[in-house]
Amino acid sequence: MMISRLNSIETECYIIDEYCLDNGMMSVHVITYGASLTGIYIPSGIADNKINVLLSSQDLRSYVKNPWYAGASLGPTTGRIKDGIINFGKNKWQVMQNEGQHNIHGGFSSLSYTNTAVGNMSVSDDWVEIVFTTMLNHRQDGFPGNRVINICYRLTKENRLLIRFNACSDQDTYLNLSNHAYFNLSGDFTTSVHNHYLTVYAKEYVANTTEHIPDSRQSVKGTPFDFREHHSFVDRIQQASDNVQIQVARGYNHAFILGQKLWIMRKALVLEEPVSQRKLIMYTDAPAVVVYTGGFLGDDGEKQTSFNTKRNCAVAIEPQDVPTYTGRVLNSVDIVRTGELYQRNIQYEFSF
């Protein structure tokens, strides 16, 4: 088990450091900017060669704009909020409208676009970890409270990557933290991820509007959103070519409601690549997970940067709160009270 600093680059405004966590079998690369994942390298099956199964860029400067949020930590919120308005009881919070009239992933000055500091690095016989820390100021992007956020990446000897978010605020606020990792378990991002098989332990999903705004909870039964048994994306999409939800999202960009007790880690999702037989199992204490099959990756020439994306080249997996769909009002469970500890845990277990 070891940790090392790989790179340090200076941009116009920041010094960005990249670190490597290595357990002898696989390695994970992370950077201070956005507390972002920049690589997950696993054995390719050929000698000592490793392949990267995470959508990433070799140019760390690409993460300063990072239009796809590739590998970035998400916060103070994850997903889209209609009109940038958060309803809490009789109160309304107006937050940054950074995607047309709506909010996406927190705003222009969100956690994804913050250069964090290294808080701690630790190595044991069983794991290696690094902790990034930062503060989001009161009213930054419209959200209340000075919020201290810690993001821990821990790689274990069993090839598990744990991402742990801890946060607290000096005012009542809303936090919905996550990570926006995109995967292609083949390691070849010139190919479509639609051949991958998915299992999601969810009985409901959230349907979206044509603007990709969460709209209503629906049963997965009898729909192309039923992944309670494993199916390939391509089979589900081909069988539902006339489904409006699939058409608008160019595949999937939907929240699946896991429907179990909050704050308890449980198996939520399995992703498999049939040719290499590589597998990713995700555990989380989040009540929902968004699965986005990259239907809009590579669309905008200005967004190409050096990620070299193409449509459907990767699938994003985003554990999070149940989205604020139309008519949903936040309740006391959703709000982080002054001085209260907020936690969110995500674990990826790799087999190869």
pLDDT one-digit tens code per residue, 322-335: 988 766 766 666 88
- Alpha helices, DSSP H, located in the chain: 62-65, 233-239, 244-249
What is the model's pLDDT at position 158? 98
In the 8-state DSSP scheme, what is residue 137?
P
Stated pTM of the model? 0.96
What is the model's pLDDT at position 54? 99
> For 36-45, what is each residue's pLDDT tens digit?
999 999 999 8
Low-confidence ranges of the chain (pLDDT < 70): 89, 260-262, 300-305, 326-327, 329-333
What is the model's pLDDT at position 99? 96
C-alpha distances (whole Å) from 1 to each of 124, 148, 229, 341 are 7, 29, 36, 30
| Residue pointed to by tokens 């222009």 | 108
The domain that contains 273 carries what CATH number? 2.70.98.10
Q: Is 277 left (phi over 0), alpha (psi -120 to 50) or beta?
A: left
What is the model's pLDDT at position 68? 95
Q: How many domains does the chain have?
A: 1
Tokens of 285: 């204490």
> What is the identity of the amino acid at 224?
P
Extract long-range pairs of 87-95: CB within 8 Å, 24+ residues apart.
87/324, 87/328, 87/329, 87/330, 88/174, 88/329, 88/330, 88/334, 88/335, 89/329, 89/330, 89/331, 93/142, 93/143, 93/144, 93/174, 94/142, 95/141, 95/142, 95/143
Roughly how many angstroms between the first and final C-alpha of the chain, as a whole number?
19
| Residue pointed to by tokens 């160019």 | 250
Contacting residues for 256 by C-beta, under 8 A, at least 6 apart: 200, 202, 204, 205, 220, 225, 227, 288, 289, 290, 291
Phi, psi of 303 (to 5 degrees): -95, 0
Dihedral sign (CA 63, 64, 69, 71): positive
What is the model's pLDDT at position 135? 99
Strand, coil or helix: what is 304?
Answer: coil
Tokens of 48: 């000592």
User: CA-based angle 280:285:289, to the nearest 5?
Assistant: 60
Q: Which residues span the domain enclosing 155? A: 2-351
